Structure 1
Amino acid sequence: MLNRLEIKNFTVFAEADLRFGKQLNLIVGENGAGKTHLLKLAYALLATSWEEGSKPHATAPTKTVLQASIAEKLTGVFRPEALGRLARRKQGRERCDIQFAFDQPDLDINFGFATNSKSEVSIAQLPEQWLNAAPCYLPTRELLTIYPNFLAVYDNHYLEFEETWRDTCRLLGGLLQRGPKEARVRELLEPLEAAMQGSMELDRNGRFYLRNASGRMEIPLVAEGLRKLGMLARLIATGALLDQGYLFWDEPEANLNPRLIRQIARTIVELSENGIQVFIATHSLFLLRELEIVLAERPSSLDTRFFGLQRLDNSVTVQQGPSLYDIGDITVLEESLLQSDRYLAMGD
């Protein structure tokens, strides 16, 4: 599990030290506060380690390999004009330093780059082994509709799409989980399929369908909110989100109605209980409250951490703690509460 992320001069952050929960992590803030940047940074490092370790005849990590592969992954995930553009913008040259700490110390890594860096990072601490669990990144947009032939086109042409889309499409095309784990897969899938009123199918031509009592419906004709549930269901069915690994999900509530958000909240908690370390970026008070309701129903508490991002002068500060009350006043959440007050006042 990822225990800690220390950053200095990375995008909007002058300095931050994030201590993660072993199961569920909720990053809250306004638009432009850096929520997605934190998700992408953590995902890029974990994905680099997993990908390098999964290559045929992979050897132990080396500086030569990691200096180039981390830079390439950061550039692919963030899509800056150059790697150095990810360093915090200020007058003169500035250096960005990033340190990851895991529950297994032999995975720890410390690296950095300067504003003029292009294709390599510098490694200050080298991990001794590669990550053995694949991370998964879910963007705000569903990807089932673009899946047909997307991997082939992406790998053979330059497209202005974040590399997270390519990575997630590759996981969506994985084989269905079979064997002893099928019962657990079915347990996680049943509430999602009930909400979708059907199950996901992938045909030989690479097209997704929603199968229900009326037959098969091609995925572009399915409501977008249900397609997001379908994407999550498919990743559970293939085992990508089962037993171990990491899930990074940017604004799960996007394009979902409250009923579906309630189901998403329950599934997020169940994945956390099942061994997946989950990282959520959101500014939805509804989702946060629903997660707290679900967590309160559990007989044993999950190791959960909240992170509140707030702009201060020319940087973003991070407040963190085990509850929503530990992260200070987040403007976007306050606006939701004030709207409720204004609405109730209309009846007076």
Structure 2
Amino acid sequence: MLKRMAIKNLTVFPEANLHFAKHLNIVVGENGAGKTHLLKMAYCVLAVSWEEGRKPINSAPTKAALQGRLAEKLVNVFRPEALGRLARRKQGRERCDIELRFSNKELDIDFSFATNSKSEVTLERAPKKWLEVAPAYLPTRELLTIYPNFVSVYDGHYLEFEETWRDTSLLLGKPLARGPKEKRINELLAPLEEAMGGSIELDRNGRFYLKNASGRLEMPLVAEGIRKLAMLARLIATGALLDKGYLFWDEPEANLNPRLVKKIARSIVALSAAGIQVFIATHSLFLLRELEMLLAESEPDVIKARFFALESTADGVLVTQGDSLDEVGEIAALDEELAQSDRYLHGVNS
């Protein structure tokens, strides 16, 4: 479990110390407030640890091994012109400092880089072991329609796509999980397959299909909202989202109608209860309300949640955090939706 992430001078953030919940973590803010940057920073560190640990010949983590790999991952995921562009720019030369703390202290890591850094971070604390499970990052765009040959093309050419697309495509292509895990997987899949009207199938040519009683439907012919559900279903079916894993999901509600958003909210809560530490970024009042209602229905202490509100100021983005949406105060992105509801009701009733 990732317990805490402290950042200083990261892009739009002067400083923040985020304390995460064991199960569900929700980052809320307007577009441009840095929601995605927080998810990507945490993801990059976890992904590098897992990728290095699964190499055929690996030793214990060292500063020499990690300094270049962390920088490479940050550049490939954030896509700046140079690593130093991720450091918040102020007068003079500044450093960006990152600290991650885990329930297993052997995974703790501290590193930094300056505004003129290009290809290496400075590691102040190296972990003593590698992460044993792969983190999953779901971008706002679905990936099933571009999956055929995407990884091979990405590895063989320079493409202006962030590396999370490649990482997630690798997880989507894993074989289906078999054995004792199948019962729990089927329980998590059932509501998603009901919402999709079928199950997801990957053929030998690397093409995904929606399979139902009428046959198979090519993924490009499936509605985009259903394709987003299908990505989540596939990661569950392969076992990637099972047994103390990590899920980062950027705007789960994007391109979904309210009915499907409700299904997504229920799946997010179910995954959290199953032991996945979930991090989502959103500015959807509808999704937040669904999550709050589902959390209220759950047994006390079964699902621990944490909310993070981002507010843009003249001095940068400030982070307020609490165990409920009420504790983080007013959020501009949500206030606009509430104000619109008030205007509509006033107009109808006048």
Return the TM-score normalized by structure 1: 0.99
1:206 Cα deviation after fit = 0.1
The 3-state SS of whatever aligns with 1:190 is: helix
Alignment of 1:1-348 (within 5 A): 1-301=1-301, 302-348=303-349
1:300 Cα deviation after fit = 3.0
CA distance in structure 2 between the partners assigned to 1:239 and 1:150 by the alignment: 22
Q: How many residues align?
A: 348
CA distance in structure 2 between the partners assigned to 1:33 and 1:89 by the alignment: 16
Structure 1 gaps of 5+ residues are none
Percent of pairs with identical residues: 70
1:312 Cα deviation after fit = 1.2
1:347 Cα deviation after fit = 2.0
1:296 Cα deviation after fit = 1.2
Greater than 4 Å deviation, 4+ residue runs: none
The 3-state SS of whatever aligns with 2:97 is: strand
Paired letter, 2:75:
T
1:57 Cα deviation after fit = 1.5
CA distance in structure 2 between the partners assigned to 1:252 and 1:263 by the alignment: 11
The 3-state SS of whatever aligns with 1:57 is: coil
The 3-state SS of whatever aligns with 1:347 is: helix
Paired letter, 2:340:
Q
CA distance in structure 2 between the partners assigned to 1:151 and 1:133 by the alignment: 20
Paired letter, 1:58:
N
Paired letter, 2:260:
L
CA distance in structure 2 between the partners assigned to 1:69 and 1:336 by the alignment: 42
Paired letter, 1:309:
L
The 3-state SS of whatever aligns with 1:335 is: helix
Deviations 1:74-127 (A, max 9, x none): 001001000000000112211111000000111100000001111100011111
CA distance in structure 2 between the partners assigned to 1:124 and 1:77 by the alignment: 22
The 3-state SS of whatever aligns with 1:58 is: coil
1:139 Cα deviation after fit = 0.2
Return the TM-score normalized by structure 2: 0.99
Q: What is the CA RMSD across the aligned residues, in angstroms?
A: 0.6
The 3-state SS of whatever aligns with 1:97 is: strand
1:314 Cα deviation after fit = 3.2
Deviations 1:185-210 (A, max 9, x none): 10000110000001000000000000
CA distance in structure 1 between the partners assigned to 2:126 and 2:210 by the alignment: 45
